[in-house]
Structures are given as C-alpha cells and as structure tokens.
Amino acid sequence: MPYLELKNVSKGYGPKGSRNEVLNQINLSVEEGEFVAIIGYSGSGKSSLINMIAGLTKPDEGEVLLEGKAISGPGPDRGLIFQNYSLLPWLTVHENIALAVDEVFKSWPKQQRKEHIEKYIAMVKLSHAATKFPRELSGGMRQRVAVARALAMDSRVLLLDEPLSALDALTRATLQDDISDIWQRTRKTVIWITNDPDEAILLADRVIPLLPTAPATLGQSIAIPLARPRDRNAINHDAQFKALRTELITKLLDSKGKNRLVISKKLTLPDILPEDLNTVNTLQFFNRHGPRRRSDDQRENVEVIS
C-alpha cells in the first residue's frame, strides 16, 4: 500500500455550466520517506493539488488517502509551507514555532517543549534570531522559520507549495542546500511544488510534471538517480543532470504546445510615443502641440496567445 495516494482525483471551481475544470484524473502514489517534486506552469493547478493533500479543500471526484485512510481535513501529520511564510507578525521566531509545538505536544513538560523548539531553530541556523519578530527578518530567514515550524511539529509529511519562489536566487540556493541536508537527516515524506526544473532535479527523488492540458493532469514520473549529497556546482556539468533537465523541460513544453489555444485579440494600446530626450530637437519639441502619436507613424498587429 502506498503511503500517500491520490486516486482519480478531479477538481474544478465555479458553478455548474461555467465550471473551470482545473485538475483531471490525478493519480499519484508516494512512498514513505520519498521526496517528490511536482513541477508545472503557473496557474496549472499545483496549489489546488497540494491543498487537497493538505485537506484544505476536497476533491470533486476521487480520493486522497494517507496510509489507506481518506484525508478529511488538515492535521498535524501534514506540515504545510507556503510561499508567503505565513508567520504571525506579533510573535517572535521562538513564539511562532511554540504556537505549533504547544498545540501538537500538549502533554510535554514546558522545558521539553522549549528544548525541542530550540533544536529546530538551530537546525535552520536561526538561533541568533530566536527573539526577533518576522518584520526584523529577511525573506530567507522567514522561510527558515516556516521550515523549522513544520519540522518541529514532527509531521510525517511535508507539503511545500513553491516555498522558495519569493526569494532571491542566492538565498534560494542556500535554502535549497540546507533543506536538502535537513531532509537527508530527517527523511520525511516530502511533496515539493515548484516551477523551477533545476530545483526539482537538485532536490527530489522523483519529479512529476503537471501537464497543462486544460484540465491539467500528471505526466509520467521522472526518476532522479543522482547520488546524494548533490553538489549544485558539480551537478551543472553532469551529463545525466543535463539529460534529465532536457527531458523534463521537453515534456512541459510539448504538453503546452499540444493543447495550445491561439486567439487573436485586437488591443488598444496607449497612442502616445515616448520622447527620447537625448535625440529630440528641443526647439521642435516645445513648438509641437501635443505628444507624438503612434497612429501618426504606423500601424501594428499584435497577436496574443493565451
């Protein structure tokens, strides 16, 4: 029996008749301790998918099962990490994590909870910032708090919805390495949503493309047999890594091409052209009445693909 399983799951939004079908017949099996990345275009239904696993929303059809039991709502067995950190701004780093730990480990003595919280703050390298408030932290540090909180709850499954997308490239790289390192020590079951092929291949055991087939469906898994720990610099020159990346990107691009709907829309663009103050003839500029207009100069056809 798979640890986490989605069987023929479909999901849409809106009233019958004008319903936006987002996900169609999703089947997914994840083993305990596996690190699975799901990659897809923006708006293809990734959050819809992970929210059903989190129990925040229900599928229209099909089932989501954890150890064979239907998921009926959110629970501490699944820790969620979002892109926007979701910390309480009036609580310090320690207090934000304590909120979750106190709830999950109610029966523990106070000292044990405190040590537990400190252990996870240290794991994400934030011991020096334990008494700081979210507003005093950088984006990367805030996301470290969210990771520590999810780990401290000792959830069996970690669900991460584009956790690093809001961060700058260098911070993202550092956090990818740190989270990968923590994962190797804790071996949680992870579902990591991303739109970054390199991130997916660097971190995961298996990458699954969410194909934007309107409604979207999961493509075939791509196993990532690269040895761990994976060195991001070395991997960039690795032939196997390059081949995996090409395979993944090709799958995503091909699926986009197949179902592409092309419409042409007539656009009304602002009819005023900017002046180039380096070349403009100042006298001419001040003598002319009104701005230069595009319609004076040319006509343009603009095709929009959506």
Provide the binding-site residues for ligand ADP, judged by CB under 6 A.
13, 20, 22, 40, 42-48
Shortest Cβ 36–ligand ADP spacing (Å): 16
- 28: its two tokens: 């997914």
43 binds, among Mg ion, ligand ADP, none (CB under 5 to 8 A by kind): ligand ADP
Binding site for Mg ion (CB under 5 A): 46-47
Task: Identify which of residues 20 and 186 has a Cβ nearer to ligand ADP in the complex.
Answer: 20
59 binds, among Mg ion, ligand ADP, none (CB under 5 to 8 A by kind): none
Shortest Cβ 14–ligand ADP spacing (Å): 6
Q: What is the DSSP letter of 168?
A: -
Q: Where are the beta strands (DSSP E) in 155-221?
A: 157-161, 189-194, 206-211, 217-218
48 binds, among Mg ion, ligand ADP, none (CB under 5 to 8 A by kind): ligand ADP
CA distances from 293 to 118, 287, 298 (A): 64, 16, 9
Task: Identify which of residues 82 and 241 has a Cβ nearer to ligand ADP in the complex.
Answer: 82
Shortest Cβ 58–Mg ion spacing (Å): 18
Shortest Cβ 140–ligand ADP spacing (Å): 22
Q: Confirm if 226 and 201 have CB atoms less than 8 A apart.
A: yes
CA distances from 113 to 99, 110, 266 (A): 11, 5, 62
What span, in angstroms and rounded, lies between the C-alpha atoms of 178 and 173?
9
Task: Identify which of residues 47 and 176 has a Cβ nearer to Mg ion in the complex.
Answer: 47
Q: What is the DSSP letter of 6?
A: E
259 binds, among Mg ion, ligand ADP, none (CB under 5 to 8 A by kind): none
Task: Identify which of residues 42 and 127 has a Cβ nearer to ligand ADP in the complex.
Answer: 42
| Unique residue bearing structure tokens 């390199």 | 198
Rounded-to-5 percentages of helix, strand, coil across the chain: 35, 20, 40
State the amino acid at position 66 in one-letter form. L
218 binds, among Mg ion, ligand ADP, none (CB under 5 to 8 A by kind): none
Shortest Cβ 29–ligand ADP spacing (Å): 21
Q: Give the max Cα distance, the chain.
A: 82
Phi, psi of 37 (to 5 degrees): -105, 135
Shortest Cβ 143–ligand ADP spacing (Å): 17
